[in-house]
Structure 1
Amino acid sequence: MRPRTLALAAAIAVLPLTAVSLGVSAAQAAPVPHATPRVALPNTVNPAVAHSEKKGDVPAEQQISVAVSLKLRNSDALDRFLTAVATPGAPEFGKYLTPEQFTARFGPTQQDVDQVKAYLTAQGLTVADVSANRQVVTAHGTTAQISQAFGTHESSYLDPQLQRAFFANDAAASIPADLASVVQGVSGLDNHAVRKTHLAKPNAVTPNAATATPSGMSPAQYDGAYNLNKTGADGTGTTVALWEFDGYQSSNLTTYDSQFGLTGPAVTTVSVDGANYDSAPGQGQGEVELDSEIVRGAAPKATQLVYEAPNNDQGEIDMANKIVADNKASVISISWGSCEPDTTAASMTAVDNAFKQAAAQGISIFSASGDDGSRDCTRSTSGSTVKAVDFPASSPHQTGVGGTNLKVGSSNTYSSESAWSTAGGGVSTVFSKPSWQTGTGVSGTMRTVPDVASNADPASGFSIYTAGGWQVYGGTSAAAPLWSGYAAQFNQKAKAAGQSALGEASPKLYSVANSSSYGSTFHDVTTGANQDFSAKAGYDQVTGWGSPVADALTTALLGSSGTTPPPTGGCTAAQLIGNGGFETGTAAPWTTSSGVVDNSSSQPAHSGSWKAWLDGYGSTHTDTLSQTVSVPTGCASATLTFWLHIDTAETGSTAYDTLTLQANGTKLKTWSNVNAAAGYVQQTVDLTSFAGQTVTLKFTGTEDGSNQTSFVIDDVALNVK
């Protein structure tokens, strides 16, 4: 991965050939044939292999770490939900899921994870981690073990374009056929990621020449030009996640704040896979500090979490899944990427699956579209003759941000804007055009990039304090955090208005752009071009729909969310309970009294290992278990089901110990020691009358002073249709 602020011609750092062995190693064994049939995993060979010189085998004892990505479930239902949750008027609009709810409905099952772990362990690999959302299993082992597990052969290569040594699998990875329905792909079989770059600077400025005083565009100028200072918001109460492969120095950020009179929460680092670059930031330091400072300028009171990951495919996948599983941020700002033809589709799919979870949870993502125009592979293996777009900006589950040259008038007002000549844009060769990508200028069957734009030309660049001095930086790496700061502002306003967060922004932005308010909510950029596309009226593949008129855009987005009444009919079939099998091993999104979620063998689960065990102490005791869900309007039925095992030491027909189920304080049903049975009994409760309401379902177990009664609950579901 590389930062998307690459306006200067930059020499790609050459890794020493000793980084990987270039000699033939007779010790690497050929993959051992398996008795069971195997299935090839498509798109698992790095495209650089076809353009590089093979130098020999990777030593059999060399350690390699891989990320095995698991498939999402119920993909058709997920697609329907993602459309509905972003569509004003739909019953699900704005009713975002928690990570636990997403995993319960659409994520891999614990059984899937266990199956993959068992296979990897049987091949001699060490399973290091499973992502909290169960989408990724990471493991490591020797080259020989990796080769056997995935039916590959690992070789050393030299990339003549980049003069880089790297290792890679020669052919597609494969897995036993019984894993094919579970495994999406595997990443980490090569280490071809490009890690070093330079930031976009005006051609007249010597690279890395810092100055004692700021000279580029200030927050007051871009806030004024885009009306960010007229929204009445500053990001208070919101959190932005920065997606980084390098570190920063806090002192540089505080110097920037002091210079421009900005105050807000201190920036915090979140380590991914053990990465933490802050003690010795590398060449990407300016990127990280640019991202943070632009977000600070646009939304000074927003909390910033800097996620730092190893700069490779596995690091990117693990960071994507950690951010959505943590669920601490409502906005993600991405200024790093790689051109599609030089990236394995398996890795892109794994990241995009995490982006689907982000959309389901109401997280907005803004990604820089690149700084090499419509030839995004200019400084990589495929070269400048290939028309290509940048990933993650090409993902259909985030918003790609292109670049402009912004001219600011007197009193920090908007003057004019033209397309930046090397702003990334074009047509994806991987992702189909999403249903929401419509309007004047949108054509074809594949996803086009970007969606929106803002200032990025280093000739109109931003004043940034980094590495102990002032610099002028541009690039779409500046445009993405500016839009992320706007999203933080919007989320603050939406919360105050009692509305949902922006969530997946593109469907809503396209809706506004295709309405009569387009001219007042966006600056339509109509002049300028990159290599293959020109800016024009409406949508174009250099600037998208244009740059924001922040106050008017906020009003339009809030209006479209709040003025359309929900329909009285129509209901998307769905299961609403999160963590219904308690297999996360934690309570969330349930609220429980102490010790209720349990995996002891004393009371077995109905399925899996975990369940909710209320009471059973043989003394006066009360346990509770509750969860709040929203039952959509228009559903013909809403049915709560769960499995209940009642075990008791009481005798006779008197109800000494009871379990009560309530909905919003209304008692629905009561069980007692009298209902004890040898095993689990499925219970069914009709909740159709609660359609259109937010309902708190609460189980209360009450035990008297003698003779235990255990109320054990598992596999809870609330199905609507």
Structure 2
Amino acid sequence: MWALGLLSLAVLGDVACGKPVYTGDKVQSRTPYAVKDSYDVPAKWTREGPAPEDHHITLSIGLKQSRFGDLEKQLMEVSDPDHPRYGQHLTPEEVSKYIRPTEEASDDVHEWLSDNGVDLDTLSHTQAGDWITVRLPVKQVEQLLDTEYSVYKHDEDGTRMVRAPEWSLPRHLHGHVDAIQPTNSFSRPSKLSKPNMKRSSTLKPVSKAEGALRVPLGTPGVQHPTVSQVCNTSLVTPLCLRTLYGTVDYVPQVPGQNQIALCNYLNETNNRSDVSIFLQNFRPDAAGAGQQFTIDIIANGQNQQTPLSATQLGNGQDIEGNLDAETILGISYPTPLTAYNTGGSPDFIPDVNTPTDTNEPYLTWITFVEGQSSVPQVISTSYDDDEQTVPPSFAARVCQEFAKFGVQGHTLLFASGDSGVGPTGGCTSNNGTNATAFIPEFPSTCPYITSVGATKNFAPEVAAFDSSNNFASGGGFSNYFARPYYQNTTVPQYIASLNGEYAGLFNASGRGYPDISAQGQRFAVVYDGEVISVDGTSAATPAASAVLSLVNDALIAAGKSPLGFFNPLLYKTAYAGFNDITSGSAIGCGTNGFAAKAGWDPVTGFGTPNFPKILSILGVPTNSSSTT
């Protein structure tokens, strides 16, 4: 069993540094307080002053999952195509027995909360009891964790957060609690898309897109178009993607049994009007889907369907959301789509107590989805952040949460980042040395998800790079997570091929990413009724997700289990169903970054999907019929 393989841990102090200071009627610690977790404030964050005492925080307490090692073993068995239990995914009830905290852990944590003035009736629990959530004022949280919260401001964009770089617990709770947030995590999931053109009066309405932008929407009289007939590097359309990756003639057989989802954060949503216009023009048979897909609101997530204000348009609000929905529906229709709109923006505005302030959005989403009776088999997420903005202990726990999805038969795909090996001018380690280093992206570095890089061009496809906006497909190696076993036969070969190049700038024993890739440059997007083009691994991720969702459709129709956690299958056999990318590189940090090479590489993974080949490897028929 390879386990999480966490390579570096935040320092866990063992010196008594405090005591319960709650001044209510009942105070009990049982053991002295000691530092549980400490993490340096990332670069570009500046402390402005103490957090207001009456500012409220929604505190999430992650209790140690009693049998996660056994759950991980189950995950590997049901995901390994050579194992007799392959495809025998667990039910939520079966997962619960592995992650439920011990009775001692649960009792001790609840006793600690009660003894420090927390009303147990105000607590919320996940189904398995491994997360406890409670909303408290900063003053009480500071007493509870023997810490001090401050307001921190991002030097570049002015975002503010309320955070505490170091926090403590009574010693007897250290083994019972994995993580508590928000404390020292400065993660801000970023939208991984970059518009190629500013909105202006020169942009043509979508109804004139075919002529104005010279986008081939089809070839009259040709039933089975070729890539050269329907693809144009100036604007990538669903017909191009379906033709390029071989899904254009596939007719989904079990829509409803098979489903797909996307995740929206940062006040993004999917504008139904724009999505409908996009489909009317680029996937006419799917036109009605723009008004039919499901939008689930989580923690006061945004779902503005009225026209955007000038400020919102200027900020590009909903470009990401429109891109994701339009791309997925344009490829996988009529597979039902669910959009999860998660609130909990981390921004803090002084003197305003916003109820969702300081939440960790990934955790908020996880907690909601785990409580649903039905969850789509493929879930696409176009958001990422620097791994070093997340404390190792919390990154490990979030990664464990993702493992729970895989063992139940869900495939999670995350964008690999848009800055190659790291943003130029921002390639500095956060370990106290301020050394120059490549900057990996999380959650792409989690070994339990599938990370997606980006390509461009068609004959052949190459690693994506756009000098006009410095977009470069992200890739690299984790500083937190060890190389998972399924990469042991591929990643070392790539590292050996470097012959020492970039030594010291990356962790050669870390989990490599991305795993696969797809087109990610010059995507057609309808935004505010007009066509723009967008770059990003956030375009590649919904495209790859839609193709894998159609793979699931064929599997389910053939009486087989869905893909679930895809990586063990991918690295063992399914890589042969992907188009190898051998040109381009993950440009970043003032370097050319990692180059694409034959086989797996940390810029395009194993390459882009070839739908018919994947189905052939899996032993299922395509059931093809022209749908163009």
Task: Provide the TM-score with structure 2 as the length reference.
Answer: 0.75
2:63, 2:177 within 8 Å by CA — same for their partners in 1?
A: yes
Q: 1:113 to 1:376 in 2, by over 3 A?
A: farther
Return the offset for 1:208: 7.0
How many residue pairs get aligned? The number is: 512
Distance in 1, Cα, partners of 2:259 & 2:103:
30
Q: Which moved more, 1:416-425 or 1:437-446?
A: 437-446
Matched, 1:88 2:81: yes
Q: 1:30 to 1:372 in 2, by over 3 A?
A: farther
Q: 1:253 to 1:164 in 2, by over 3 A?
A: closer
Match of 2:150 in 1: 155
1:56 corresponds, among 49, 53, 56, to 49
1:234, 1:298 within 8 Å by CA — same for their partners in 2?
A: no
Q: 1:110 to 1:319 in 2, by over 3 A?
A: farther
Q: 1:396 to 1:235 in 2, by over 3 A?
A: farther
Matched, 1:450 2:514: yes
Distance in 1, Cα, partners of 2:54 & 2:98:
41
Distance in 1, Cα, partners of 2:135 & 2:46:
26
SS in 2 for 1:229: coil
CA deviation profile, 1:82-121 (whole Å, cap 9, x unmatched): 1110112423211111111100233335774454344334
2:178, 2:397 within 8 Å by CA — same for their partners in 1?
A: yes
Relative contact order higher in (CA < 8 Å, ≥ 6 apart): 2
Return the offset for 1:425: 0.2
2:248 corresponds, among 213, 223, 229, to 229
Return the offset for 1:498: 1.2
SS in 2 for 1:41: strand
Match of 1:510 in 2: 571
Match of 2:322 in 1: 289
Distance in 1, Cα, partners of 2:383 & 2:538:
8
SS in 2 for 1:223: helix
Distance in 1, Cα, partners of 2:559 & 2:279:
31
Distance in 2, Cα, partners of 1:341 & 1:31:
33
1:275, 1:308 within 8 Å by CA — same for their partners in 2?
A: yes
Match of 1:522 in 2: 578
Match of 1:429 in 2: 479
Correspondence 1:239-318 to 2 at 5 A: 239-245=259-265, 246-259=268-281, 260-263=283-286, 266-279=292-305, 283-309=316-342, 310-312=344-346, 314-318=360-364
1:269, 1:306 within 8 Å by CA — same for their partners in 2?
A: yes
CA deviation profile, 1:343-377 (whole Å, cap 9, x unmatched): 22233223212211001101001110010110058
Match of 2:368 in 1: 322
Percent of residue pairs identical: 24
1:499 corresponds, among 560, 563, 586, to 560
1:234, 1:300 within 8 Å by CA — same for their partners in 2?
A: no
Distance in 2, Cα, partners of 1:118 & 1:34:
9
Unpaired segments ≥5 residues, structure 1 = 1-28, 408-414, 561-721
Distance in 2, Cα, partners of 1:112 & 1:377:
45
SS in 1 for 2:573: helix
Correspondence 1:499-578 to 2 at 5 A: 499-512=560-573, 518=576, 521-531=577-587, 532-558=593-619
Match of 1:481 in 2: 542
Q: 1:369 to 1:378 in 2, by over 3 A?
A: farther
Return the offset for 1:555: 1.7
SS in 2 for 1:464: strand
Residue type matched to 2:451 in 1? G
CA deviation profile, 1:160-198 (whole Å, cap 9, x unmatched): 344444332142x22223322321101113684547768
Distance in 2, Cα, partners of 1:157 & 1:329:
37
Q: 1:290 to 1:510 in 2, by over 3 A?
A: same
1:113, 1:137 within 8 Å by CA — same for their partners in 2?
A: no
Match of 2:462 in 1: 418
Q: 1:85 to 1:198 in 2, by over 3 A?
A: closer
SS in 2 for 1:430: strand
Distance in 1, Cα, partners of 2:610 & 2:320:
26
Distance in 2, Cα, partners of 1:474 & 1:161:
22
2:269, 2:318 within 8 Å by CA — same for their partners in 1?
A: yes
CA deviation profile, 1:301-355 (whole Å, cap 9, x unmatched): 1111111112345221120232244242111101011110122223322321221
Match of 2:181 in 1: 187
SS in 2 for 1:189: coil
Higher fraction of strand: 1
Distance in 1, Cα, partners of 2:59 & 2:424:
25
Residue type matched to 2:582 in 1? T
Distance in 2, Cα, partners of 1:278 & 1:272:
14
SS in 1 for 2:457: strand
Task: Provide the TM-score with structure 1 as the length reference.
Answer: 0.66
Distance in 2, Cα, partners of 1:64 & 1:321:
17
1:262, 1:296 within 8 Å by CA — same for their partners in 2?
A: no
Residue type matched to 2:604 in 1? T
Distance in 1, Cα, partners of 2:570 & 2:200:
37
Q: Which moved more, 1:90-99 or 1:205-214?
A: 205-214
Unpaired segments ≥5 residues, structure 2 = 1-19, 214-234, 347-358, 466-471, 496-507, 588-592, 622-628
Distance in 1, Cα, partners of 2:574 & 2:360:
36
SS in 1 for 2:180: strand
RMSD: 2.9
CA deviation profile, 1:41-74 (whole Å, cap 9, x unmatched): 335x4633x6544332222222122111122222
Residue type matched to 1:360 in 2? V
Match of 1:5 in 2: none
Match of 1:219 in 2: 238
Distance in 1, Cα, partners of 2:162 & 2:409:
38
CA deviation profile, 1:182-221 (whole Å, cap 9, x unmatched): 211011136845477683233xx33577530244221111
SS in 1 for 2:300: coil
1:152, 1:169 within 8 Å by CA — same for their partners in 2?
A: yes
Match of 2:138 in 1: 143
Match of 1:67 in 2: 60
Q: 1:429 to 1:535 in 2, by over 3 A?
A: same
CA deviation profile, 1:17-36 (whole Å, cap 9, x unmatched): xxxxxxxxxxxx98889552
Match of 2:504 in 1: none
Q: 1:537 to 1:513 in 2, by over 3 A?
A: farther
1:406 corresponds, among 446, 457, 461, to 457
Q: 1:190 to 1:232 in 2, by over 3 A?
A: same
Q: 1:528 to 1:208 in 2, by over 3 A?
A: farther
SS in 2 for 1:293: helix
Residue type matched to 2:450 in 1? T
Q: 1:153 to 1:318 in 2, by over 3 A?
A: same
Q: 1:464 to 1:51 in 2, by over 3 A?
A: closer
Q: 1:201 to 1:56 in 2, by over 3 A?
A: closer
2:440, 2:477 within 8 Å by CA — same for their partners in 1?
A: yes
Distance in 2, Cα, partners of 1:110 & 1:428:
34
